[in-house]
Chain A
Amino acid sequence: MIKKEKMTKQRFIHFYRKLSMVRQFEEKVDELFRQGKIAGTVHTSVGQEAVAVGAGEALEEKDLVVATHRGHGHCLMRGAGLKPMMAELLGKGTGLCKGKGGSMHIVDVRRGMLGAMGIVGAGLPISVGVGWAIKRQKTGQVCACFFGDNASNGGPFHEALNVSALWKLPIVFICENNLYGLSVSVNKTSAVQDIAVRATGYGIPGVIADGMDVFAVHDVVKKAVDRARGGAGPSLVECKTYRFLGHSRGDPSYGPYRTKEEWESWKKRDPLILLRKRGNLTPEEVGKIEQEVSAELSEAVLFAEQSPNPEIGDVLDDIFA
């Protein structure tokens, strides 16, 4: 019997703060990229925050996360500091990865964020290893492995689910189905539209959750986490969600491959709006939270901007242990 958390005001505020943190962080990142302060590319999760937050809240502090290339939110949820995260995105020496990883490879191992993964699907086999080690080491940890809809079409997905089901590993596979793999609709990439259905192929539970509802995500993931921790093996959770910005910066929110209508209909179900309604949060409460988050974020940006670049001599460090 799963104990349901009392939906107190504090709880709503707690969750809203998390959502706001991810939202503002991502919007700030987008802005910095447009200003040319972040190089390369960024994949923001504006619109998908509820998945990272909901799932993140269902995990314990000791648990581990393997994420996708769209991993800022997951990293934040593991408790990574804003300042070192921002500094990493700006490529500075004070960044989480000393400026060597960047957005797609943001890692905070001490806090259990084993990494955003630059290669689609790469996290799946790696999470198998993590799960195996947890089981072997009997630490009672759980590994949450996030991946996208299109990753579920690749070989590693199949290998990972098969093996982890076979060995009953403590993994929760969480598919963030935002309906598009870059510019291609999931209609054109997946033989089945509900990714969760694939779980039956491995004899594990497959559950769909409303990815815009942070509590819905939380509850479904919590169940899977408990199952894993209990030793019954992995589950597949599919969160139906939507990204409000393009695939990466430079990609418009709608137009080339998404219609404005579709975008607007999902926009109405913005996780932050949903939560505000559900929790009856007053504008003052919202304003206060958002302002606090904004202030923290500004500090982090300032820190990052003022931080120095890595030393040239550091380029050869950390190749080998």
Chain B
Amino acid sequence: MTSSHERRDNLIMREIKYAEALREALAEEMRRDERVFVFGEDVALGYAFTVCKGLIDEFGPERVFDTPICEQTIIGTAVGAAMMGMRPVPEIQFCDLLPMCMDQICNQAAKLRYMSGGQVSFPLVIRSPGGKWGSFAAQHSQTLDAWFMQVPGLKVAVPATPYDAKGLLKTAIRDNNPVLFIERKLLYQIPGPVPIEEYLIPFGEARIHTEGRDVTIVAIGRMLSEALEAFKLLEKDGINATVLDPRTLIPLDKNAILESVKLTHRLVIVEEGPKTGGVGAEISAIIAEEALDYLDSPIRRVAALDTPIPFNKMLEDHILPDRYKIVHAVKDLMST
């Protein structure tokens, strides 16, 4: 898998939205390789979250098409087509619908290569948005990242910025393996700097946004922006945090987290999914196993409460993590 340097001094940056960055990635990869095609529900018009909007104009209905509501067959089609050498990029409209096609993702896409003894590979990317929208309630607001960390054979990417989204999606499409590419609904319309030049972001490489000696904050998805706000609030109180985004969960850049904890001696993990069995649980275990002697305080996880997400906006905000909860957790750590 090729990768270019993430940052060169002579890159020209412009501000584009997360959804736009994803669309650019899709278009560029579809231009580059005619085996790449995009399909799913409401994809032709890009009606749900606009990511695929306009692609049909350039690439035609053979490469950009709608399917009926049949999640198992959407992924099954991807599996079959991938077996035949195509490079499918199906979209599952809400990550809450991934449970509908778990068999095709976890039993077929992730395992058929292994079970066949390597006879065939599955270069497919399943795109699906997770996280809060705002009163979309329990079945349309979930963050299920952690579920898929435990499927050997499946890679999982969770981009948090337009820059990361584009670079990671391009890498995912070029990867010869099944990738679950979990986006965030509320990030789609948030702009960020993205180079005009082509670039790829390798999997398994975290991104450090701020460097501070007092605590390491690992933040995933939409929680990255909350963590960065928390960073500013903490700075005012003289607490300097390292904010680190792993960007991919499988493979996980655990070395970056370990090295950071060795410097700061404190770790907080922030995620939008429920706390029990979450990504934070996995990362905490890794640090406890491999860097116990560097910890000056217990590890803290800032995550959603273990409850279905309520419809009422105030209740929803209450159960989800935010910058203030991050600040509170950090300050609490500083005094233990």
Contacts and interface: CB of A to CB of B under 8 A. Distances in A.
A317 interface: yes
Interface in A97-111: 97-102, 105, 107-110
Place the interface of chain B in its size category: 35 or more
A321 B121 contact: yes
A48 interface: no
B118 interface: yes
Interface in A108-159: 108-110, 114-115, 118-119, 122, 124-134, 136-137, 143, 155-156, 159
Contacts of A129: 76-84, 88
A111 B177 CA distance: 22
A44 B316 CA distance: 54
Interface string B63-81: 0000110101111111111
A162 interface: yes
Contacts of A95: 117
B153 A320 contact: yes
A155 B108 CA distance: 16
A125 B76 contact: yes
A163 B152 contact: no
Interface in B154-170: 155
Contacts, number: 149
B79 A97 contact: no
B120 interface: yes
A320 B176 CA distance: 8
Contacts of A102: 115
A156 B73 contact: yes
B107 interface: yes
Contacts of B68: 159, 162-163, 166
A137 B88 CA distance: 13
Interface in B1-53: 37
B281 interface: no
Given A109-B119, A119-B103, A162-B70, A319 B80 contact: no
B62 interface: yes
Nearest to B34: A136
A262 interface: no
Contacts of A99: 117
A283 to B, nearest CB: 41
B107 A118 contact: yes
From B74, B75, B82, B116, residue with most partner A Cβ within 10 Å: B116
Interface string A144-182: 000000000001100110110010000000000000000
B116 A319 contact: no
A143 B84 CA distance: 11
Given A124-B76, A319-B153, A130 B114 contact: no
Nearest to A163: B73
A321 B155 CA distance: 12
A107 B107 contact: no
A96 interface: yes
B86 A133 contact: yes
Contacts of A119: 103, 107-108
Interface string B81-97: 11111101000000000
B72 A155 contact: yes
B73 A160 contact: yes
A311 interface: no
Nearest to B110: A319
A124 B101 CA distance: 13
A284 interface: no
Contacts of B115: 97, 100-102, 105, 107, 115
A177 B72 CA distance: 23
Q: Which 3 A-B pairs have the closest CB atoms?
A: A125-B76, A129-B80, A98-B117
Given A130-B83, A131-B80, 9 more contacts: A95-B117, A107-B112, A114-B80, A119-B107, A127-B76, A127-B80, A129-B79, A129-B82, A321-B177
Interface of B: 37, 62, 67-68, 70, 72-86, 88, 103-104, 107-108, 112-123, 152-153, 155, 176-177
14 contacts: A100-B114, A101-B115, A105-B112, A109-B120, A115-B112, A128-B76, A128-B80, A129-B81, A133-B83, A134-B84, A143-B80, A166-B68, A319-B153, A320-B177
